[in-house]
């Protein structure tokens, strides 16, 4: 759906129709499914959102400025847009459908599961984790028979063992705030996605992840421009 040629798009078939994934950059994604434009964490630094489709659904993983970006939200949000977010995001925006870790519900015909996203190793200088437990969300979105996991800002947390079958996973690798490539490998071994996209990877070299996972059967690592 994105009209600017710089964006890479991957397409996957489902019994309910094709899902097209546009890689906008950083932690920002656009899913096109059954005529709906579904955004995750729009971020104005990586795209001109005025040139992109109006949003039917927007998912916000947490309240940090590169995930909750008012400049990016303004041109795509309408009175008909459904905004799914965390409590911290809702406090800033004053609106939206709040989902806590563990919540499940159908939103605009998409089954959504909000899951934990937090740091257990990487901390600020004051000892506080960059992403405290219970504040941010990852989301599992079900498109037809495809379960897509967008992890948000997290590390390789034990809750990943209970996510069930994951067809496509987006795992962050943005140091020092999320995972090292080695952590992503451990997360991938817990999740076992058919397709793994490292995303929001900052200055971390995604080729390192490819090297680490090359002997791991059944996991296809795809590198897209999501730095």
Give the model confidence (pLDDT) of 147-203 as tens digits.
Answer: 999 999 999 999 999 999 999 999 999 888 999 999 999 999 999 999 999 999 988
Q: What are phi and psi of 191, to 5 degrees?
A: -85, -40
Pairing of strands 97-98, 82-85: parallel
**Single pTM value for the model:** 0.95
The two structure tokens encoding residue 163: 């996510």
Q: Tell me what the mean pLDDT of segment 55-72 comes to.
A: 96
- Whether the link from the prior residue into 17 is cis, omega within 30° of 0, is no
- The CATH code of the domain at 8-220 is 3.60.15.10
């Amino acid at each position: 759906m994105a009209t600017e040629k710089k964006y890479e798009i991957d397409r996957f078939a489902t019994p309910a129709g094709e899902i097209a994934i546009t890689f906008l950059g950083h932690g920002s994604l656009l899913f096109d499914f059954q005529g709906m434009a579904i955004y995750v964490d729009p971020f104005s630094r990586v795209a001109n959102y005025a040139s992109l489709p109006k949003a039917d659904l927007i998912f916000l993983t947490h309240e940090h400025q590169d995930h909750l970006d008012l400049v990016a939200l303004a041109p795509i949000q309408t009175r008909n847009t459904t905004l799914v977010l965390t409590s911290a995001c809702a406090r800033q925006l004053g609106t939206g459908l709040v989902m806590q870790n563990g919540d499940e519900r159908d939103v605009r015909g998409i089954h959504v599961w909000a899951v934990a996203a937090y740091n257990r190793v990487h901390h600020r200088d004051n000892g506080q984790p960059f992403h405290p437990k219970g504040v941010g969300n990852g989301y599992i979105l079900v498109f037809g028979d495809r379960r897509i996991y967008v992890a948000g800002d997290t590390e390789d947390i034990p809750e990943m063992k209970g996510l069930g079958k994951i067809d496509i996973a987006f795992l962050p690798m943005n140091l020092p705030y999320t995972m090292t490539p080695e952590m992503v490998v451990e997360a991938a071994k817990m999740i076992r996605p058919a397709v793994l996209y490292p995303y929001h990877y900052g200055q971390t070299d995604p080729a390192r992840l490819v090297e680490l996972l090359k002997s791991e059967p059944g996991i296809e690592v795809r590198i897209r421009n999501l730095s």
